[in-house]
């Protein structure tokens, strides 16, 4: 069954427009609450609700709280806390579910709701479908005797800070390192600086003054220019950029060069493989750079490709029993450290890996350079674009054999086909991307 409301990472959209309205979010909380109650008849379920720093978070938090308590579910409220922090506390407090009010790297006008199941894992498809089915039913508030309670909890941020620090090797410290930390004016603003400071680093903080309106605004993982300039200006050793809800990571070295998720995953995997501690291989996505896959192969490290979306990377890691994977966007998974992508913990893994390798970031990634990628979005009107692209696709794959690859991927949110060609020569990537795109345009 296809999902009506849930995307690859919960429900998301512009605030004030369906489905991100207080009415729908209250009903979403009620529907999720009813599903939890149906699965746990013997006791009253409890959920944890956290949020990022968007102004709309107050409104949506109240709506969710009302929906859950109306369904007979107890609610614990943390206030601003990163998405991976909610996942951790859901597991640590042995709760039935965790909920995050965030639109991640989107601008402040957007917001969203994403869920974690018991144990801090992403909600599986079956539970999402149960919630969607319940949304089609009328909302009926429990009688007063069967309503849930809601309360704010203290110490959530401090518990998560200690958890993050615990994932860094005991024999290492960050003393002697100068770091620029960019928190995107988001949920990590009061978390990340304390983690790095308490591990010994000298800090320069940017993007740590949220106003409710400035989340991800020319700061954070989706806008590394601010971090690059700050690293160079302050003569720092590294720059660390997180996104609005703290699950993405982009880093910058002392020279001001940007390292995306692919490169950071490679550094982590390389260090673990060198120590004989890499369990299995690495999972990326269909968009992961081919040069990274080839470089891992030379080291005897298996590589798998999942669909785009960290939930699909996670599914493949679990299926294969592997631990390390992620996306170029900066979603990085180290499942021996956390059950979900965590920007702070991933950055600590990169820093630890570099110390263990005795290398700079440039040296650690020096045995491969990303192949040029050309991406063209082609709008279509429901035409048979696969048939139109078949002949040039076959020609491109023959021409690129051993030198590159082609990915054709329909958008899940708009009538667009994404044509991505990757090759060891940029002109080759450009030529074949245009050829395939033009073939689709002729029938669109």
Q: Which residues are annotated as a binding site for Mg(2+)?
A: 104, 243, 245, 247
SS3 call for 198: helix
Alpha-helical regions (H) of 148-274: 156-166, 192-198, 225-233, 261-274
Catalytic residue flag (residue 347)? no
Listed residue (92, 99, 93, 148) closest to 123, CA to CA: 99
Which secondary-structure segment (H or E) carries 84?
A: helix 83-92
Question: What is the distance of C-alpha 372 from the center of its chain?
Answer: 24
- In 3-state terms, what secondary structure has residue 440? helix
* Structure token pair of residue 44: 């009253």
What is the C-alpha to C-alpha distance for residues 371 and 429, in angstroms, rounded to an integer?
9
**Tokens linked to 376:** 């063209």
Residues 110, 20: contact at Cβ < 8 Å?
A: yes
Burial of 263 (0-12, 13-18, 19+ CB in 10 A): buried
The DSSP output letter for 248 is B
Residue from 2, 43, 56, 104 carrying the catalytic annotation = 104
Residue with tokens 């990571």, as numbered in its chain: 249
Q: Within a 10 A sphere around the Cβ of 336, how many other Cβ atoms?
A: 12
Full DSSP string of 212-253: SS-TTSS-STT-THHHHHHHHHTT-SEEEEE-TTS-BEEEEE
371 to 19, 293, 296, 426, 437: CA distances (angstroms) = 39, 11, 14, 8, 20
d(CA 327, CA 87): 19
Reply yes or no: is the peptide bond before residue 298 cis, omega within 30 of 0: no
C-alpha distance across the termini of the chain, in Å: 28
> Taking CA 102 as the corner, what is the angle to CA 61 and CA 219, rounded to the nearest 5 degrees?
135
- Decide: 372 and 426 in contact? Cβ < 8 Å: yes
Say if residues 375 and 429 touch (Cβ distance below 8 Å): no
Contact 311, 317 (CB under 8 A): no
Catalytic residue IDs: 104
């Amino acid at each position: 069954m296809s999902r009506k409301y849930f995307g690859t990472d919960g429900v998301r959209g512009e605030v004030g427009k369906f489905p991100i309205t207080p009415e729908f979010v209250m009903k979403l909380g009620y529907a999720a609450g009813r599903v939890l109650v149906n699965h746990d008849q013997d006791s009253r379920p409890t959920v944890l609700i956290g949020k990022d720093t968007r102004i709309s978070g107050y409104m949506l938090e109240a709506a969710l709280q009302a929906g859950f308590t109306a369904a007979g579910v107890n609610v614990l409220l943390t206030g601003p806390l990163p998405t991976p922090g909610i996942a951790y506390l859901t597991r640590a407090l042995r709760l039935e579910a965790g909920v995050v009010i965030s639109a991640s790297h989107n601008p402040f006008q957007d917001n969203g709701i994403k869920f974690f199941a018991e144990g801090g894992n992403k909600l599986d498809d079956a539970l999402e479908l149960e919630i969607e089915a319940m949304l089609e039913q009328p909302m009926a508030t429990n009688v007063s005797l069967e309503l849930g309670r809601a309360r704010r909890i203290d110490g959530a941020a401090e518990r998560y800070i200690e958890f993050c620090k615990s994932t860094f090797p005991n024999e290492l410290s960050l003393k002697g390192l100068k770091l620029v930390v960019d928190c995107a004016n988001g949920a990590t603003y009061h978390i990340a600086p304390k983690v790095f400071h308490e591990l010994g680093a000298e800090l320069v903080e940017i993007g740590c003054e949220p106003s409710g309106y400035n989340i991800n605004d020319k700061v954070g993982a989706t806008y590394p220019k601010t971090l690059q300039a700050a690293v160079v200006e302050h003569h720092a050793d590294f720059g660390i950029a997180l996104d609005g809800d703290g699950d993405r990571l982009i880093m910058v070295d002392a020279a001001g060069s940007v390292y995306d998720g692919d490169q950071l995953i490679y550094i982590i995997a390389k260090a673990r493989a060198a120590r004989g501690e890499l369990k299995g291989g690495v999972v990326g996505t269909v968009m992961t750079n081919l040069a990274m896959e080839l470089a891992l192969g030379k080291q005897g490290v298996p590589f798998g490709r999942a669909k785009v979306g960290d939930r699909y990377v996670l599914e493949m890691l679990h299926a294969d029993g592997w631990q390390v994977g992620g996306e170029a966007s900066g979603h990085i998974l180290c499942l021996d450290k956390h059950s979900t992508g965590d920007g702070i913990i991933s950055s600590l893994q990169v820093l630890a890996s570099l110390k263990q390798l005795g290398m700079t970031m440039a040296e650690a990634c020096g045995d491969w350079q990303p192949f040029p990628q050309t991406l063209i979005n082609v709008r279509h009107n429901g035409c048979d674009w696969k048939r139109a692209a078949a002949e040039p696709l076959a020609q491109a794959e023959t021409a690129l054999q051993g030198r590159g690859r082609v990915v054709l991927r329909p958008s899940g949110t708009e009538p667009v086909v994404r044509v991505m060609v990757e090759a060891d020569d940029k002109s080759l990537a450009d030529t074949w991307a245009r050829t395939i795109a033009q073939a689709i345009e002729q029938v669109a």
